[in-house]
Chains A and B, each alone.
Chain A
Amino acid sequence: MLNALCSYAKFRMTTKLRRDLTKTLLIMKFTAIILLSACLAATARGYPQITLSEKNVPLQKVFREIQKQSGYDFLFSYMLVQNAGKVTISVKNVSLQVAVEEVLKGKDLGFEIMEKTVVIKPKPIIPNEATIARPMRIALKGRVVNEKGEPVVGASVSVRNSNTGTMTDKNGEFRLDVPDGSVTLIVSYIGYESQELAIGNSRSFIITLKSSSQQLGEVVITSFGVKQNKKALGFSTQNVTGDDLLESKQTNIVSSLQGKVAGLQITNSSGIPGASAGILLRGGTSLDGNNEPLFVIDGIPMDNSTIAEPANGGGQLARTVANSNRAVDINPEDIESITVLKGPAAAALYGLKASGGAIIISTKRGVAGQSKINYSSSAELQQENKVPDLQKVYKMGTGGNAVPSRLSWGPQKGNDDKVYDNMKDFFQTGTLYTNNLSFTGGTEKSSIFASVSRTDHKGIIPNSDFKRTSFRVNADANLFKKLKLGFNANYTNSNGTQPLQGPGVLNGTGGIMTSMVYWPLNDNMADYLASDGSRRRLVPNINEDIDNPNWSVHKNPVTNNVNRFIGTAQISYDAFAWLNLTYRLGTDFYKQDFQSLRSPGTSLNGNGNGGLFEADYFNQITTSTLLASFKKSITKDINASLLLGHNVEWNDYRNNSVFGTNFINPDFVSINNVANKTSNQYVSRKRILGAFGDLQLNYRNWWFINLTGRNDWSSTLPEQNRSFFYPSVGTSIVLTDLFKSDSKTISYAKLRATYAKVGKDAPPHKLNTSLVTENSIVLGGAFGFGFYSNNTALKPEFTNSTEIGGEFQFLNKRIGLDLTWYKIESKDQITQPRVSQGTGFIFKLVNGGTIENKGFEAALNAIPIQNRKFRWDINLNWSQNKAKVTDLPVGTSVFRNSDAIAVFNLAEGASFLNGNLYAIRGSTYTTNSNGDVIIGADGYPNVNKSLQQDLGVSRQPKWIAGLTNSFVNGNFNLSFLIDIRKGGYVFNGTEYELVKSGLSTKTLDRGTTTVLPGVIETSPGVFTPNTQQVALDQNYYTSIYAENALNFIEDGSWYRLRYISVGYSVPQKILNKTPIKGLSFNLTAKNLILITDYTGIDPELSIAGAGVRGTGTVGIDYVGLPSTKGFVVGLNVNF
């Protein structure tokens, strides 16, 4: 196998071989899938059957025997089992549950089956009132269902403080004779929260179990699909179930995580269908690198990149399009759960890509014995959420004169003048339809999950859409007793059409929103065609004109089409009871075709005679992982497990693009129809090799120690610095187990701490400075040097993190609290700062710069009310993070986010030495040493545009919180998410443009005179308050007021009702006579309420999307398109 791996690496040298190999792998995979499907013909109940015959033996021996027969591990304290004495037993072909019950009969021991583990626990001490023996027994019956109303098969139903118990049958029903006087019925099933019910006078019960996310003994998936007992983890993780994700009805799985996890900040970029959503865990660790966490799906890394800026776009495309983050290719309904590993600690084993944390996605798999077809469908209507207020008084013109212009500095409208609400008229009602069909089923030999889904989204902007078609087959097979195979295959096609949304972070015309913030109110924007079918011009002079958005959306569309395949094959071998070997090979690749058309007649600079940009991107990540997992009891008190792993990763990326202008035939769209064209190619390759180990020690099941170490070798670093090692150490102590506490008030308490270090390599091909041919830099052909100077002496960068936390459960687990404090420091970053021009380059790649993130996270869940009919759940996630720059590279004092320039020379995202990572740099009025604005002799302040400075505000919120409430009442359920952001400033670049255009309500004072606040320098160093009256005219607003960035800084706090969802499950009684097993309906309202003082489009928008490096364009709102609100009706049916 390993030899094959090595030759595989060599195969990749030729494209043809690579293609062949990929094809072979595909064929292998599909063959396997077909075979597995065939195996599914017969379905049978697959529970381990156990036969025991032992006389007077220690319990451990019986457990070992059961373990051998069932494959289930036993977890117990030696002392406990030792004290329980010996056992005699004889059973034949019984279920595991029954076998263990028999073994423990008469002992003071209870048990719980979790995943593949049987946990042996002491039985609670029996309180007095229940010890009174009553001869009478009462017959109870009932039915156990999950939240969707589906029967829960095999759930354990027992009576507290008695030996009486049973399991539910295939319809989820049970019958149980209980001693009279029994008080409480306990219903539990793995993956669900246990429920306790008062028996009272009831004799018949319908019990709804709620799937658990926070539970004692919960199993979480950490590195490489390895399941771990959450108890043992020394770091904070949070788990979101697939159902919770679906509640928010988002197309993009990243958006659906919003508010669900403490410390996770999601930033949507715009309301355009398919627009990217950025994701940030615990602040940013890199000045200008990628700060997004690693995405892992079914054990392999997955690409979630966003195209920031297609190269060679002719200067126009740049950041003007709401590109998708590629996680949008994942069908949310395929997801079983997402585990968020928040810091470097959690992700130490994933290596260098996980220094920003990791999002671990597990997709659904077939379950033995449960054949099920599920169909769900939803339809949504959308409209724009919030648009800026515009003045409705002044008409087209300049200087108060009615002259043809794109400006609204003309005269006041007369009573008879017709005015238009151009912005409102422009948006249409958007629609979003999703349809999903899935099948699960399996036998004890094999199981399968298959799904097909389709999403059709038409945006609120005419001619914008996003369509996704996804197919998935996940198959598992137990070939031999100890050998398991698993296959996942996911093919997705995503495509869409978008408008040029704005100038992005570059100035310029052409974006539809840029035009809208200029369109004079006395001109009807909807009337966009002249009588001859050409574009009706707003202003006759083409250089002064702007494109009509209604014309743009049809004539300047941007389209893209992605074909993607993600597949894994896994083989797992239980060599011994104490050794498991797993090998996994996976690949994620896609090709994206991108086209931007600028039709002849556009005002887009340089494209007046037509322009066409076409690009295709190919990206592939292939990973090979070998894991050996050992388990061993060292002494009777200490259990150890060791994971050794080896990981190889191949990254390949290729981008070809061509840009042409001057159409020969004006309406024929093809790159063959342009007179001038330029093409460009970018290729990158990277290989990483990793070896790692993870040792876990467990002392009496209350003290856990975890040591990890990893060594990476990366192709991107110089040979002498290529290899680097980094460790982590963590511990957790379960206080409630340590003190064997049985308190109901404090049901669970755990403390944890972890220190971890993660290394990170350089981007590929960045050692020597290469010559370029880009024709914006190289004039006259041949070669020249570009913007970037590389560095042959790069070293790996390191991120150190320390986190301390605790998990607590109170009042019988009705309240859970998870608290975390962390400090993360990223040192010696590999960054490309701007440097002195004396170097001959704009940017130079260096090691340098330190960012310190400190933060606090709290997750609270509570069940304030829970009874037979009604249940109320609260989930609150709260977090704060402070990112500080403690060192900048090469002695500089500011790090400018090149991609986050809002308005050139006015405002941009930047990081200042010993200041905030998320600062804004901008131009301001000149002030004296007191900070008073200096007023000039003409009565107006001056703006010094050549000296921009720290505006003293942070784009990072003070804290963010997500509050989910859900209520279940019989067949009805209701849930809603309130999303709160406190603090965090936004640069309102939209308002800036509105002031310039004269449409801003801030310019309604025009024509009046006033005394501007400030001081006059009467003699050098002597200042007196200004008293001079000046006119608030066009010149003041557009060349003085507008040039002070501080006039556009606004608080971005918000409260929003992200969603509210009502569901109804049709009662089983009604469905009993139909083939339908479950039927539910839901109604969801998205973004129904937004409360904010922010006056722009939406404080959440990040204008250039998720692809921007470093701190991105969070808090930079520059004529982006509004987000949406919508109503969704949905249906879910099971057969």
Chain B
Amino acid sequence: MKKIIYIFFIVSIFMFSGCKKDFFNINADPNGPTRTTPDKMLTNVLRQSLEMQGTAGYGAVSIIDQLATQRPSHANVDNWVGLGIVNYSFQNNYFLVGSNNESMMKWAAEESSWHYVGVGEVIKAITYGYTTDLFGEIYYDEAIKDEIVQPKFNTQEYVYQKLFELLDDAILQFDKTSTRPLGMEDVFFNGDIAKWKKLANAAKARLLNHLSKKAAYDPTQILTLIDNSLTSRNDDAGFTYSGNYPDANAWAPDGALPSSAKTWDKYFIDLLKGNGVGEVVDPRLPKIANPGSDGVYRGVVNGITKDGLAPDLVGSLWGKFYTDNTSPFWLFTYEEVKFIEAEAAFNASNKARAYAAYIAGITSNLERLGVDQGDISAYLASAAAQNSASLTVSNIMVQKYIALTFHPELWTDMRRYDYSNSVYPNLAQPVGANPALGSEWVRRLPPFSTEIDYNRMQVESIGGLAPDYIAKRVWWDQP
């Protein structure tokens, strides 16, 4: 008996030791590597930054009356009750862009590919910029650290400081010799470092321009940056999409944003029809929107859904300049630079420069949308376009509102001007506006749902669970 037991055990032990190592050595993931070179990450990072901007714009323009609800399922976005379903730009900043961008920068630095580091920093500054503008306090120092599951918020003031540092550092990185040069993977500029530097300056100008309520606001610093930024549409940071999902523009029917429930807002369509813009019909109207079945252009009043109207009287959102599968989409445009310049120059009391930038912005945008030269001239000569003497901030901001359709910057602008009727003519709160706000306007987006569920203490620390939290102004929105 003993013999048998011995044999059994000896053989068992032999088995364990004999093939244990090889036997278990099969757990490396056969489905994907854990590391690659930065060029293999770049295209994704750039394209995801556009997607991120799309989702940031989705929340913003649902609030500022460019986009309204067609079907009831999203009605309470319009009246600011359910803004928690248009705030996933928060997720996309960290998940779609951030996780990839941080690894790209790390792997690039490890092989001294400094240009990739610079690009990563510019993209990070822009996308974190959108995120803090929408949400106020965000994760910065403790974001995307493998060992941290519940990161802490940083204040917006701190984040802005860090973003300025990032952009300054990016310029330094672009001046270094990079082991691996930027190539075709750079779908924005095809490896043109000069354009990246211009973009870094433009991005810094944009952020500085947000501080218009702050004592530190310095329009001349912005104008200096503008001098070294985009000089034509040729410098635009953008991408032209090639077709169906996932290669469709975010704002197209096949794109990443929820498509079926949305339509144009009446406020935006009325603006394009000249209401408040010198009663001149904007030649961009047929480029941007579709008319209803009777040939009349209509939008939907925010807070009131299309159901109940004969549906075909409201034109489809799809297939126009911004909403085709193959539409281009930009992270930064020359027009935005011109309107930042116009505003800064105006505030610096340089009306001539403000006017020149204002006209250049309008002209470039009309050209971009393919308006005939004759119509461009007629529009610039009409009551819609001001002359140098009559130019107001309102004129600049309304033209920026039209030229930057779908852009998250528009909401930042509107908050900076406190939704003023004198800046945005005829702007009104939506029907059934969220009663929790009293009569206040929305000043930020609610905390993203995952943060309420999985990092609740942090959300509580910023008062994020209060029903009127979305009326709380972000740092730059306060004097």
Cβ A765 vs Cβ B311 within 8 A: no
Cβ A775 vs Cβ B453 within 8 A: no
Contact of B454 among A2, A581, A892 (CB under 8 A): A892
Say yes or no for A839: interface residue by CB 8 A criterion. Answer: yes
Say yes or no for B169: interface residue by CB 8 A criterion. Answer: no
Q: A943-B81, A947-B84, A1039-B76 are in contact. Are A838 and B148 (CB under 8 A)?
A: yes
List which B4-40 residues lie within 8 A (CB) of chain A.
Answer: 4-5, 8, 11-12, 14-16, 18-20, 22-36, 39-40
B438 CB, nearest partner CB in chain A, Å = 9
Say yes or no for A942: interface residue by CB 8 A criterion. Answer: yes
- Enumerate chain A residues within 8 angstroms of B457, measured Cβ to Cβ: 891
Number of interface residues of A (CB under 8 A): 102
Cβ A835 vs Cβ B450 within 8 A: yes
- Enumerate chain A residues within 8 angstroms of B5, measured Cβ to Cβ: 628
Say yes or no for B456: interface residue by CB 8 A criterion. Answer: yes
- Enumerate chain A residues within 8 angstroms of B39, measured Cβ to Cβ: 782
- Enumerate chain B residues within 8 angstroms of A894, measured Cβ to Cβ: 453-454
Say yes or no for B335: interface residue by CB 8 A criterion. Answer: no
B74 CB, nearest partner CB in chain A, Å = 9
Say yes or no for A373: interface residue by CB 8 A criterion. Answer: no
A648 CB, nearest partner CB in chain B, Å = 8
List which A228-249 residues lie within 8 A (CB) of chain B.
Answer: none
CB-nearest residue of chain B to A840: B99
Cβ B47 vs Cβ A782 within 8 A: no
List which A703-726 residues lie within 8 A (CB) of chain B.
Answer: 713-716, 719, 722
Say yes or no for A142: interface residue by CB 8 A criterion. Answer: no
- Interface-facing stretch out of A324-332, A682-690, A1062-1070: A682-690
Question: Which of A837, A841, A890, A942 gathers most chain B CB within 10 Å?
Answer: A837
Q: How far is the CA of A937 from the CA of B303 in the complex (A)?
A: 14
Say yes or no for A780: interface residue by CB 8 A criterion. Answer: yes
Q: How far is the CA of A623 from the CA of B450 in the complex (A)?
A: 42
B80 CB, nearest partner CB in chain A, Å = 10
Cβ B81 vs Cβ A840 within 8 A: no
Say yes or no for B389: interface residue by CB 8 A criterion. Answer: no
Q: What 0/1 readout, one digit per residue, does chain A (1098-1111) give for beta carbons within 8 Å of chain B? A: 00000000000000
B23 CB, nearest partner CB in chain A, Å = 5
Q: How far is the CA of A1042 from the CA of B73 in the complex (A)?
A: 9
Say yes or no for B477: interface residue by CB 8 A criterion. Answer: no
Say yes or no for A576: interface residue by CB 8 A criterion. Answer: yes
B303 CB, nearest partner CB in chain A, Å = 10
Say yes or no for A117: interface residue by CB 8 A criterion. Answer: no
- Enumerate chain A residues within 8 angstroms of B267, measured Cβ to Cβ: none
Q: How far is the CA of A667 from the CA of B312 in the complex (A)?
A: 32
Cβ A938 vs Cβ B48 within 8 A: no
Cβ A893 vs Cβ B244 within 8 A: no
B154 CB, nearest partner CB in chain A, Å = 11
Q: A716-B27, A837-B91, A946-B83 are in contact. Are A401 and B41 (CB under 8 A)?
A: no
B475 CB, nearest partner CB in chain A, Å = 19
- Enumerate chain A residues within 8 angstroms of B434, measured Cβ to Cβ: 942
- Enumerate chain A residues within 8 angstroms of B14, measured Cβ to Cβ: 2
Cβ A578 vs Cβ B1 within 8 A: yes
- Enumerate chain A residues within 8 angstroms of B47, measured Cβ to Cβ: 779-780
Say yes or no for A785: interface residue by CB 8 A criterion. Answer: yes
A12 CB, nearest partner CB in chain B, Å = 9
- Enumerate chain A residues within 8 angstroms of B143, measured Cβ to Cβ: 838-840
Q: How far is the CA of A206 from the CA of B245 in the complex (A)?
A: 75
Cβ B12 vs Cβ A691 within 8 A: yes
Cβ B26 vs Cβ A685 within 8 A: yes
Say yes or no for A867: interface residue by CB 8 A criterion. Answer: no
Q: A689-B23, A836-B450, A1038-B72 are in contact. Are A783 and B44 (CB under 8 A)?
A: yes
Q: What 0/1 readout, one digit per residue, does chain A (568-589) give for beta carbons within 8 Å of chain B? A: 0000000110110100000000
Q: A579-B4, A606-B245, A783-B44 are in contact. Are A946 and B148 (CB under 8 A)?
A: no
Say yes or no for B275: interface residue by CB 8 A criterion. Answer: no
Cβ A676 vs Cβ B244 within 8 A: yes
Q: How far is the CA of A767 from the CA of B146 in the complex (A)?
A: 13
A143 CB, nearest partner CB in chain B, Å = 48
Cβ A836 vs Cβ B308 within 8 A: no
CB-nearest residue of chain A to B77: A945
List which A525-572 residues lie within 8 A (CB) of chain B.
Answer: 541, 543-544
Give A contacts to B, CB under 8 Å.
2, 5-6, 9-10, 398-399, 401, 403, 405, 407, 409, 541, 543-544, 575-576, 578-579, 581, 606, 628, 644, 646, 661-662, 676, 681-687, 689, 691, 713-716, 719, 722, 764-765, 767-773, 775-785, 787, 789, 833-842, 844, 846, 890-894, 896, 905, 926, 936-938, 942-948, 996, 1017, 1034-1035, 1038-1039, 1042-1043
Give B contacts to A, CB under 8 Å.
1, 4-5, 8, 11-12, 14-16, 18-20, 22-36, 39-44, 46-48, 51, 72-73, 75-76, 81-85, 87, 90-91, 93-96, 98-100, 102-103, 139, 142-146, 148-151, 185, 187, 244-247, 253-254, 260, 305, 307-312, 316, 318, 432, 434-436, 446, 448-458, 467
Q: Add 7 more A-B contacts to A837-B94, A942-B434 (CB < 8 A).
A: A2-B15, A399-B307, A581-B4, A606-B245, A765-B29, A780-B47, A842-B450
Q: Which 10 A-B pairs have the closest CB atoms?
A: A946-B84, A840-B99, A399-B308, A1039-B72, A780-B43, A770-B32, A838-B139, A779-B47, A838-B151, A840-B144
